[in-house]
Amino acid sequence: MRWSRCPRCNSGRVVQRSSGCLSKLALISLLFAAMSIFGMFMSGDFARSPFELIAPFVMAILIPVFFIFIYIKFGRSLFCRDCYYNFRTKKE
């Protein structure tokens, strides 16, 4: 995200805010997906009946994708300290 002046008051006192909790949640969901997929293969359940484990496999992939999408969409913003305005810059 590139730095810019505040669009409301044209102030230079702009800082970057990020949602650290959301990034940690995305990382935890990635670790959960990796552990559940690894557990499926190590327990041998996937070799016995691969079609029964399609739903857990899909959920283990969709949960991290959801949190990563939310993080990319809402994760970072700029904050003006003068007028207390949260804003995002346009993508280049």
**pLDDT tens for each residue of 47-71:** 676 676 777 778 778 888 887 788 7
29 near 71, Cβ under 8 Å? no
Q: Within a domain: residue 50? A: yes
Tens digit of each residue's pLDDT (9 = 90 or more) over 7-51: 889 888 888 877 667 777 778 888 887 887 787 778 776 667 667
- Could you give the number of structural domains in the chain? 1
| Residue 80 within a domain | yes
Domain with 48 in it: 20-87
Residue 92 lies inside a defined structural domain of this protein: no
